[in-house]
Amino acid sequence: QLQLVESGGGLVQPGGSLSLSCAASGSRLDSFGVGWFRQAPGKEREGVACISSSGASTNYADSVKGRFIITRDYAKNTLHLQMNSLLPEDTAVYYCAAEYLGGCTRTIARQHFDYWGQGTQVTVSS
């Protein structure tokens, strides 16, 4: 059974940077596609970024492209999201998710993902 736990959330000023981590346990993450989602109060959960099982393919939401970078560390069985040039509209609970088939589609649709973490709060405010 795959378990995912996010960490690294917190309060950051606009224009600042923050790095999120997702630790996997119970199973190796190598064969999964993995991604980050976020959800602000009263809004739908949206895909932020994903990376394929091989690491060869990545996709980003237009709203974060050029600012966020998704990476994975096979040795540590972890996933990361480096967030730069943060904006107030980036404020949300961020979730790590894994997809069994190992893909990473352009839409980063939540229905493709089978395992989810509990979320970590990111607040961008001065």
pLDDT in tens, the chain (126 residues): 999 999 999 999 999 999 999 999 999 999 999 999 999 999 999 999 999 999 999 999 999 999 999 999 999 999 999 999 999 999 999 999 999 999 898 889 999 999 999 999 999 999
Question: Do 13 and 125 touch, CB atoms closer than 8 A?
Answer: yes
Question: Do 53 and 102 touch, CB atoms closer than 8 A?
Answer: yes
Give the pLDDT confidence score for residue 49 in this predicted structure: 98
Q: Which of left, alpha, beta for 125 (phi over 0: left; psi -120 to 50: alpha)?
A: beta
For residue 96 the two structure tokens come to 């790590």
Mapping DSSP to helix (H, G, I), strand (E, B) and coil, where does residue 53 land? Answer: coil
What gap in Å lies between CA 65 and CA 53, rounded to an integer? 20
